[in-house]
Amino acid sequence: MKELSLNILDVAKNSVKAGAKNVVISIEETERTLEISISDDGCGMTPEFLKNVADPFCTTRTTRSVGLGIPLLKLQAEQTGGKLEITSKHESAHPLDHGTKTTALFYKDHIDMTPLGDVCGSVVTLIQGSPDIDFLFVHKMPDREVRLDTKELREVLGDEVPLDNPEVLMWISENLKEQYHEVS
């Protein structure tokens, strides 16, 4: 992947596939580190599946038996000296608080750091693909914060206008871009 924002899009799609109703995407930056975490209230993974989840031959896809999403993110984190961690509670053992949290830590000053890229594009794409799921996106930088909560947007839009309405998507895209470009 050329941008970490593409990994975010890819991994968050696993949450969608797991039947999540709420997905929280957080990026936290310090001077030296960048941590991406994606957590959901989807069906979760069994301990057996979780053990093998970084194995490319462990996948939920049906068109072929290779899945590179998690292995790629792990590689990209580890090549900067960082790490990937996944915790998960499967619905069979945790009927009330199931879900998965994927956390990847990166060292930004490492030569092999993948640039973050167009995060706005990924957030808009996720909302376009799953307008019924609630996404909370928070990007904390040392000096400021960018934030978008689809629950708040839904309150304004009511039931009749879905989040994947083209004009709403453009509003979201421009709102995020403006938050990024705001002078702190």
Instruction: Output phi, psi for 102, to 5 deg.
Output: -110, 125
97 and 25 Cβ atoms separated by less than 8 Å:
no
Question: Contact between 107 and another protein (CB under 8 A)?
Answer: no
128 lies in the site for another protein, by CB under 8 A: yes
10 belongs to the binding site for another protein (CB under 8 A): yes
Q: Which is nearer to another protein, 76 or 89 (CB)?
A: 76
Interface with another protein in residues 43-102 (CB under 8 A): 61, 63-64, 67-69, 72
Closer residue to another protein, CB minimum distance, 109 or 132: 132
Q: Is residue 9 a contact residue for another protein (CB under 8 A)?
A: yes
> Can you state the angle between helices 166-181 and 119-129, rounded to 10 degrees?
160
Q: Are strands 99-107 and 145-149 parallel, antiparallel or unpaired?
A: unpaired
160 touches another protein by CB under 8 A: yes
Q: How many CA atoms lie within 13 A of 18 on its CB side?
A: 26
Among 57, 95, 158, 183, binds another protein (CB under 8 A): 158
Residues that bind another protein (CB under 8 A): 1-2, 6, 9-10, 13, 61, 63-64, 67-69, 72, 118, 121-122, 124-125, 128-129, 152-153, 156-158, 160-161, 165-171, 174-175, 178, 182
